[in-house]
Amino acid sequence: MVWVLSVLTATADVSPRIFHNYTSADGLADNSAQTIHCTKTGRLVITTAGQINFFNGSKFSHIDPLEENMYALSEYRGNYHLYFDRFHHIWLKNTHSVTCVDLITERFTSSIEDEFRKFGVVEHVNDLFVDSAGVVWLLTEKGLYNVKSKKTIKPHANLNLQDLEICKDKYVMLFYNNGLMEMFDYTTGKKVDESRPYTDDVARNYESSSLLATAKDRVFQLRNGARDAILMCYNLVEKNWYEILRTPYHLNNMAIKDSLMFVPCEYGYWVANLNSGELKHYEVLMMETGKTMETDVNVIAFDRQGGMWVGTEQRGLLYSRPFAPPFNVYAWGNSTADHYGAMMDGVNQWPRFRDRTVNCIYKDSRGWTWVGTPQGLQVYRKETDMLPQVYTTKDGLYNNIVHSVVEDALHNIWVGTSYGISVVLFNEDGRVHRINSYNQYDHVPNEVFVNGKAMCLPDGTIVMQSLDHVVEFNPKNFSTLDNNYQFEIYPKMVQLFVNGVDVNTNTEIDGKKLLDRALSRVWGLDLNYNQNSITMVFSALNYFRPQQTFYRVRVLGLDDEWRILTPFDSNGYVDRDGLLHLPLMALRPGHYEIHVQASMSPDDWNTRPYIWTIDIHEPWWRSIGVFGVFGFLLAILFLVNILFYMKNAKLRAQRDSEETMLVKRIYNFIDRIEGRGEILEPAAEEYSAAAVEAMTDLDPEFVKAMEKIKLLVLTERNKKKMTMRRLGNAAGMGGKEFYQLIMANIFKSPRALIKKARLEEAEKLLRNTKMSIEDISAKCGFITANYFIASFFQKHRLTPQMYRDRH
């Protein structure tokens, strides 16, 4: 075993990076950032004091664990250690405990025992590890269990296993508290090697914790003791150890970026060049406000764009952009600032242009006149132009009040405003391509620039004067001008509103749970017809320059054409934080596909689009099944209606027939009463006790009704069809009452009425004529005069002669 010691005594220096500070005031759960991880999609996961924080480029969200979410790990003695496994879990270990977050739902797992059972482990787990391939290893009394291969390795029984790693996909390396490293065959589980970087006397200083990092054929191990720390490397090819750094204070983590290793510590951070072995210690951090910070740094991580994130113990989260700010800022009193200030003395700060006072006037190499005004940047391409072309915040300026203008060596126009610096970029054909802007996040002073105080030096350096500073920069050093970025940005949905309701995994609308998993894990949505007003918020996770985020959008099902949206001309769809707010209001039922691309240039759309689908269902009463049932019911109703119609037609015909027959009976009844053809003969029982009853056998109401309708029947019967309703009206009765009265009497004999009518006629003849009794009897239809006399006497108690004599 070879141990090469490389200890450098380095003086603390100020970090060349400039940092932006995020704290709990920005939404971070706590200012103690313990671990940072950048996911494959570019989203940041930050752990604070037990909480899991997510950062979407604009704001933080976090979830809090409960006591029941924690699982005791008897063998783990270190501090915060974050793992991501291949099953979409985050495992967060802290001293003697572990919590688990299910990234599918972005919720803490309620029962870690259940997760272990899914892995096939029912006994108590003493410690947990996740290797760089995302495979979970569980330490139990039986040994170290690989949940992927289902095999167990027997670790050293008398030592505390602190970490593990796989190498070359062939070996498993186990690291113990005394510095021992054991190497096992990944397939067979047999030990093939062991190594130790130092003796027992040294080991006692670094027994507390261990962290690992890998780079090609090297495994780096960081070990801490009660006070001291050591950083070492194991060469897998040469199979030897060498020391990189030893400190009398804790080293907290490692992050490898290209050939540099960043090591956060109690006093800032160390940077080790893995090729040259050079070490630098940066104890002082420079903030974008111009102030410095000295702090305990817990963790360093890099995002997909190359930006550096620093988690501090008490000062929150720090971010440094992947490219150094091209702006050099000098305060008054600095010799450079004073020198440049003297060069720009004598500039007319309130010039006049076409009889009006403006902020500045500049004529470029094309002969164009640029005029800075409080209403924007104006350009006159010809002296004869009456109206200028005007550029404002809608075109990309940060501020409409333009104080100074200058042209660079590439013929781009630089503008100093009341809030930041902007540049008008031109195409090769001389047309304006776009406008980029820079503010305090780019290390530009957050203050007003001075009218007319801008110049371009012979070497291409541009100098612009603000209220309290002088800004120096050379456009040749700008990576944001030619868009020569080594990274791409991809959009991700970070927020969803349905009918104005912020939707997450717990949200229900109209009794329907819309999401069964976290929004980041959902690629479509099924909605009811009345859940059709949707707003989607996308983030390109552009931490470097969110204000330079361009989106291209199309919604298949509404409009197949792509639309380019920017923070400057999208009517608020893209905000200054680089978030896209895409509203889709009053969608009709149907299928929609939302395609979204993100880019840092409006001309570069080579990345794959983010695709999200929305299916809005027809209301139940407009579904095909309901239409089928409805059609079937209509057919049934039509058939039933036809049957009822046929039945009613039959009944109507039957009723009409019965009514016709009944009217004929009424006619016959009245004819018999009025007619002379029927000779009245005495009935056998006429003079019995029943004779009187026979006379009253017909209902008196019926008799009255017959009297009332008699005239109508006799006069109208041959003119038009007679109906029961008309006869009932003539009788002064309702249809039903008249029908019942007729049916109860029409089938009885009309003899009594006939006799009554003839006796009444005989009475008239007796009173008004001198006809003989015999002639009256014959005329009124009585068979004999005796029968007439008897009938008359029965009614009047007088003989016909007596009746005539009295009248």
pLDDT of residue 6: 40
Which segments within 196-337 are labelled E, that is strand? 209-215, 218-224, 229-235, 240-247, 255-257, 260-264, 269-273, 279-287, 292-293, 297-302, 308-312, 317-320, 328-331
Report how far Cα 398 is from the mean position of its chain's Cα atoms.
31
Residue 520 vs residue 270, higher pLDDT:
270
Banded pLDDT at 806 (limits 50, 70, 90):
confident
Other Cβ atoms within 10 Å of 107 Cβ, number? 16
Residue 438, CB half-sphere, CA atoms under 13 Å: how many?
21
Q: Domain extents for the chain?
A: 3-9+38-265, 328-477, 492-622, 645-806
The CATH code belonging to domain 328-477 is 2.130.10.10
On average, the pLDDT of the chain sits at 89
pLDDT exceeds cutoff 70 at 696: no
Which CATH topology does 645-806 take? Arc Repressor Mutant, subunit A (1.10.10)
Extract the tokens encoding 600. 């840092």
Pairing of strands 107-108, 97-102: antiparallel
Give the ranges where 700-784 is alpha helix by DSSP (H): 700-716, 724-730, 735-745, 751-768, 773-779
Q: Tell me the per-residue pLDDT of 557-569, one tens digit each, with 9 for 90 and over.
A: 998 999 999 888 7
Banded pLDDT at 159 (limits 50, 70, 90):
very high
pLDDT of residue 400: 94
Which segments within 457-532 are labelled E, that is strand? 462-466, 469-473, 492-498, 501-502, 508-509, 512-513, 524-527
List C-alpha distances in Å: 221 to 157, 164, 276: 22, 10, 19
Count helices and strands in the chain by DSSP H and E runs: 12, 54
pLDDT of residue 791: 87
List C-alpha distances in Å: 172 to 116, 144, 188: 21, 11, 11
pLDDT of residue 274: 93
* Dist. CA 788–CA 681, nearest whole Å: 9
Banded pLDDT at 649 (limits 50, 70, 90):
confident
pLDDT exceeds cutoff 70 at 10: no
Residue 96 vs residue 710, higher pLDDT:
96
Extract the tokens encoding 602. 């409006």
Q: Average of pLDDT values for 56-84?
A: 90
Which CATH topology does 3-9+38-265 take? Methylamine Dehydrogenase; Chain H (2.130.10)
472 near 454, Cβ under 8 Å?
Answer: no
pLDDT of residue 2: 34
Task: Out of 135-139, 156-160, 798-802, give the one with best mean pLDDT.
Answer: 135-139
pLDDT of residue 675: 67
Banded pLDDT at 676 (limits 50, 70, 90):
low
Q: Average of pLDDT values for 71-100?
A: 92
Amino acid occupying residue 560: D
Q: Average of pLDDT values for 271-290?
A: 92
Q: Tell me the per-residue pLDDT of 103-127, one tens digit each, with 9 for 90 and over.
A: 999 999 989 999 999 999 999 999 9
Which CATH topology does 492-622 take? Immunoglobulin-like (2.60.40)
Q: Which residues pair with 284 in a beta bridge?
A: 14
- Burial (CB count <10 Å: 0-12, 13-18, 19+), residue 125: buried
pLDDT of residue 708: 85
Q: Tell me the per-residue pLDDT of 584-634, one tens digit each, with 9 for 90 and over.
A: 999 999 999 999 999 988 888 989 999 999 999 988 777 777 778 888 899
What are the φ/ψ torsions at residue 242 (nearest 5 degrees)? -145, 150
Q: Average of pLDDT values for 443-456?
A: 94
Banded pLDDT at 660 (limits 50, 70, 90):
confident
pLDDT of residue 3: 34
Amino acid occupying residue 447: E
Q: Which residue has the tokens 């920005």?
A: 26
Report how far Cα 507 is from the mean position of its chain's Cα atoms.
10
Buried (b) or exposed (e) across 214-225, using 16+ Cβ within 10 A? Answer: beeebbbbbbbb
280 near 271, Cβ under 8 Å?
Answer: yes
Extract the tokens encoding 95. 């001293």
| DSSP state string for 15-57 | EEEEEEEE-GGGT-S-S---EEEE-TTS-EEEE-SS-EEEE-S
Q: For residue 418, which of 503, 363, 360 has the smallest C-alpha distance?
A: 360
Q: Tell me the per-residue pLDDT of 122-142, one tens digit each, with 9 for 90 and over.
A: 999 999 999 999 999 999 999
Equal CATH topology for 3-9+38-265 and 328-477: yes
Extract the tokens encoding 554. 């199309």
